[in-house]
Chain A
């Protein structure tokens, strides 16, 4: 199986600073990873993904880093804005497409 965890339940960041949200996974056979953002009372929204044959992927203001050696991935948000306040989930897929395991989430609080 797979278990996915996040290092901190809550992360407070000053507006304009960079945010780093970390995630650890347990199964070295995980081949695909996704970060989701979930605002209060809403469904998760896809942010960025990365396959296991990559170690870095960049999007708009976001970067995902994957370290397969220690089974760790991180989401970096540049110039954090108040609209970034949400819960962020990482998810890992092991083999089959339907087996995506979600982490418990980190709540990002942006301090104006």
Chain B
């Protein structure tokens, strides 16, 4: 089945630790995105990548890092510099930057304990 897969579904992290969230897609999409979702708020863009080996900061990139070494993979690292990391993280992909429909993964819920 083609799709976009995020893992794990639930993740717990101790304060001060970095953690990496996985996002893999087999849709052959060029563009990939990371969003953060908090209760009562819309999705906010963290980072996006239009093509392999390229990525750009979104609206709330501080405390996060990404890499795009392969077309199908766009991992997000939540660093200890992120002040409020507990949230629901969503990865999305599009066929190309100018395409309209984005396909979302099922999300990873990160809890800092």
Show the binding face of A for B, using Cβ within 8 Å.
4, 9, 32, 34, 36, 41-46, 49, 89, 91, 97-98, 100-105
Contact = CB atoms under 8 A, between A and B. Distances in A.
Contact of A104 (B35, B40, B45): B40
Q: Give the interface size bracket for B toward A.
A: 20 to 34
Nearest to B38: A104
14 contacts: A34-B101, A42-B106, A43-B106, A43-B107, A45-B104, A49-B100, A49-B101, A89-B42, A97-B98, A98-B33, A98-B56, A100-B45, A104-B41, A105-B42
B105 A43 contact: yes
B19 interface: no
A97 B97 contact: yes
A104 B42 contact: yes
Interface of B: 6, 31, 33, 35, 40-45, 48, 50, 56, 58, 90, 92, 97-107
Given A42-B106, A44-B90, A98-B48, A89 B56 contact: no
Contacts of A103: 42
B100 A32 contact: yes
Given A97-B99, A98-B50, A102-B42, 11 more contacts: A4-B42, A42-B106, A46-B102, A89-B43, A91-B43, A97-B31, A97-B97, A98-B58, A102-B44, A104-B40, A104-B41
